[in-house]
């Protein structure tokens, strides 16, 4: 035997629907602020997790373990280390060409210089 549904017209209190539609927003400013901060934290954590997943696929698990091991020494440097590694990866062809040019220039120099 199920319980009968209450008559919507007889409801009182905060769950009573507004006359023109759904329930009004009765949350206080503190609750709205708390929910906004929570949403911001969740988004930041999501971006961080996606960033670390990208780094894992970029530098490999072994290198990530070394980088994360560095966090005990200077944790603020982790983003800068990862940016430097990414820059070296993206500019590796230019770095290789520069290194080859410098070596060739050094080898062509006369012995008296």
**What pLDDT shows up at residue 108?**
83
Q: Which two tokens stand for residue 61?
A: 């698990």
DSSP notation for 42-77: HHHHHHHHHHHHHHHHHH-HHHHHHHHHGGGT-GGG
Is the Cβ–Cβ distance between 89 and 58 less than 8 Å? Answer: yes
**What pLDDT shows up at residue 31?**
87
**What pLDDT shows up at residue 57?**
76
Q: Please state whether the predicted TM-score (pTM) of the whole model is above 0.75.
A: no
Query: Average pLDDT of 18-46?
Result: 78
């Amino acid at each position: 035997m199920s319980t009968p549904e209450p008559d919507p017209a007889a409801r009182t209190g905060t769950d009573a629907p507004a006359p023109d539609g759904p329930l009004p927003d009765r949350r206080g400013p503190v609750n709205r602020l708390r929910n906004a901060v929570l949403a911001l934290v969740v988004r930041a954590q999501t971006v961080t997790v996606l960033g670390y997943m990208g780094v894992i696929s970029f530098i490999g698990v072994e290198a990530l373990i070394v980088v994360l091991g560095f966090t005990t020494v200077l944790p603020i440097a982790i983003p800068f280390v990862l940016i430097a590694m990414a820059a070296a990866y993206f500019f590796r062809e230019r770095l290789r060409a520069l290194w080859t040019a410098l070596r060739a220039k050094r080898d062509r120099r006369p012995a008296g210089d």
